[in-house]
A = this chain, B = another copy of it.
Amino acid sequence: MDNPFITEKIKNLLPRYRQFLQDYVYPIELKVVSNPFRQSLPVLQELRNKARSEGLFAPHLTEEDGGPGLSLLEFAQISEVLGTSPLGHYIFNCQAPDIGNMELMHEFASSELKEQYLKPLQRGEIRSCFAMTEPGFAGSNPLQLGTIAVRDGDEYIITGHKWFTSSADGASFTIVMAITNPESSNQYERASMILVPLPNSSVELVRNISVMGESGEDYLSHGELKFHQCRIHISNRIGPEGKGFALAQARLGPGRIHHCMRWIGICERAFDLMCQRATSRSLSGHHMLGHQQIIQFWIAECRAQIQAARLMVLHTALAMDKQGAKAVKEEIATIKFFVANVLTDVLDKAIQVHGGLGITDDTILSFWYRHERASRIYDGPDEVHKSSLARHILKSYGMKFERP
């Protein structure tokens, strides 16, 4: 059936992105993710230039920032296409964590910070990272933070230990979440966000954490950072003091749409690979894998799930465009766990359909199987979102909860 979410603006854009990925990205993706990332920087830069020359670069930017000025709903659909390759968002400069930092700074950073950091980030000249999660505290309780920023004159002195600071290796700055107002009576108003230029003699990149067998490097890495009494001028703070938590929430809203659409892109690619395999692998003579009833069931179930997931995310994006992030708080929690589980299931079935081939690195499935196991954990594990959604609902029935 026709796509009811299509608009004039993206009607022509979508096939161009699809074609770009088909022609230039799919052919190189296996090689890129199988080798140290820095080896591939030249070829990726070339593709970024190509994207720019075709007017496809940075599709998330507003018109004033040189982008196409898409709505969230429109960008979401492009994001799905980019998600069909692990390199899609990177090549078009709308990859996490940079896109989140761009959105955050666009809204909340001072014009000086925008000039010095946001502009080159939007142009793809530098990369950035976001330092929030800490090894010592459960990420599911964002109020718990060990990193502190003590005010000393016009400076903050930041001390703390972070990890899962994705893409820290090679980043030109990080935005760090730190306690600035430990005495605030409102526990949601104790932390602030501070931009810290990198590399920095007081910021130690302890390691690129080995995740699912790979330490990675550069963009494809997850850093463990230590802040050793790192002095930063207070003008590097983003937004008001004590508002770090509110900013993090603001950053997460569209961030979850982005992740979810990327996951749906992965699902569609995996689904396509599954169907190709089902129609090309013979079990015996002309009896193909796809003639097996169980394979058909998996295909049908995956199609249904992906369709459900997409509709939920696009409806949430649409509502966010129209009513703002607050109106879709429940939906944002819902899609986070719903889509992550669809992703898990689709990848698992796509691999099973591929048999031995599915666990090799001869297809892209293995990369996602390994690296998207995290989808049910990062930005809050399923468990946090389920409880959060249920509490919202039960409160509407008059129920009281101790924790907010």
- Bound Cα distance A367, B214 (Å): 11
Indicate whether A316 reaches chain B with its CB closer than 8 angstroms: yes
List of B residues within 8 angstroms of A390 by Cβ: 290, 295-297, 299-300, 303
A309-324: contact bitstring with B at CB < 8 Å (1 yes, 0 no)? Answer: 1011001101100110
In the assembly, how many copies of this chain are there? 4
A347-374: contact bitstring with B at CB < 8 Å (1 yes, 0 no)? Answer: 0000110011111111000110110011
* A321 → chain B closest CB, angstroms: 11
A332-356: contact bitstring with B at CB < 8 Å (1 yes, 0 no)? Answer: 0110011000000000000110011
Partner of A383, one of B294, B315, B330: B294
State whether A290 and B163 are in contact (beta carbons under 8 Å apart), knowing that A139-B356, A356-B133, A389-B300 are contacts in the complex.
no
Check B338–A304 contact: CB distance below 8 A. yes
Q: What residues make up the interface of A, taking CB atoms closer than 8 Å to B?
A: 1-2, 4, 34, 133, 135, 138-141, 144, 163-164, 209-214, 275-276, 278-279, 281-284, 288-297, 299-301, 303-304, 307-309, 311-312, 315-316, 318-319, 322-323, 327-328, 330-331, 333-334, 337-338, 351-352, 355-362, 366-367, 369-370, 373-374, 376-378, 381-383, 385-387, 389-391, 393-394, 397-399, 401
13 contacts between A and B (CB under 8 A): A2-B322, A138-B284, A211-B361, A276-B397, A279-B398, A291-B401, A294-B297, A304-B312, A304-B338, A308-B309, A311-B312, A358-B377, A359-B374
